[in-house]
Amino acid sequence: MSPAVAARMAATFDRLSGGRLLINVVTGGDPVESAGDGLHLSHDERYELTDEFLTVWRSLVRGEIANFQGDYLDIKQGKILFPPVQQPYPPLWFGGSSGIAQKIAAKHVDVYLTWGEPPAQVAEKIAAVRRLAELEGRTLRFGIRLHVIVRETESEAWDAADKLIRYVDDEAIAKAQKVYARMDSEGQRRMSQLHKGSRETLEISPNLWAGVGLVRGGAGTALVGDPDTVAARMLEYADLGIETFILSGYPHLEEAYRVAELLFPRLPLENLPTVETQQILSPFGEIVANEEFLKQQSQQKTASISS
């Protein structure tokens, strides 16, 4: 997808949602999957392409005419016809653990995401990205992606965690880990390193459980415990600088209810920010016609002045 197409889609979705769009930028991390999509770039080349893409995308969504010549993109007179509601553009979210990924985050995005690593490792990431952002003259916010297993008591929560992988056998774990091992994602490597493909020691930090990552790629850790304990662990991450928690659980609906009923009352939740009412512009065809009409008027006025 070209930056111009992505910019138009973003502006459209942002307007349709009344300014609620958030964009998570993903460069990919599986060379086999990328090859199936026709993308044959190395790890660093993918991030170099992402750098160029976001440079053009941000320019377009700000309403600028984009002319860009890079190693991967050649853009001439790129533009979009109508702006998004959120200015200068919908917030960009991004997760990447390698050095080049963190440089891209520092240069372009609004929120840097990490998967649920132990607090000490998360603190190191935040410090590194903050230093890189300072070099760019920018500041970022930080978020974390975690699963949650919350129950009324600690023992019930850990029982639920054990039940979640009770029927996952060693063969299934080995197959999953073989797939993850072929990936060149630094974030996936760090996730796999937490459990090392074994169910022997899955509590890798107090109440942080790596069992999900045995057979699931990406975010592979969960906070496990009673409501007060899980809330306390979340606040530990908040003290490091994490402002946003992206949570999920299994089964999705049932765990969502438990989180809302048991965990939310223990958290210092704040109201979501409001956005201005979206401005309605003419449909696409009318915009083009209006542009042409205004151009003709300008030409006629110039001719009249000249005569």
Compute the distance between CA of residue 115 and CA of residue 242 in angstroms, rounded to an integer: 12
Task: Give the DSSP letter of residue 273.
Answer: P
**Among residues 212, 273, 213, 270, which one has the least CA distance to residue 245?**
270
pLDDT for the residue numbered 286: 53
pLDDT for the residue numbered 24: 95
Written as tens digits, the pLDDT of the chain (307 aa) is 789 999 999 999 999 999 999 999 999 888 888 899 888 999 999 999 999 999 999 999 999 999 999 999 999 999 999 999 999 999 999 999 999 999 999 999 999 999 999 999 999 999 999 999 999 999 999 999 999 999 999 999 999 999 999 999 999 999 999 999 999 999 999 999 999 989 888 999 999 999 999 999 999 999 999 999 999 999 999 999 999 999 999 999 999 999 999 999 999 877 555 555 545 455 555 555 555 655 666 666 555 555 5
pLDDT for the residue numbered 269: 79
CA 283 to chain centre: 31
Other CB atoms within 10 A of residue 251 CB:
8
pLDDT for the residue numbered 268: 87
Query: Do residues 116 and 242 lie in contact, with contact meaning Cβ atoms separated by under 8 Å?
Result: no
Q: Where are the domains of the chain?
A: 1-89
pLDDT for the residue numbered 39: 86
**Prediction pTM value:** 0.84
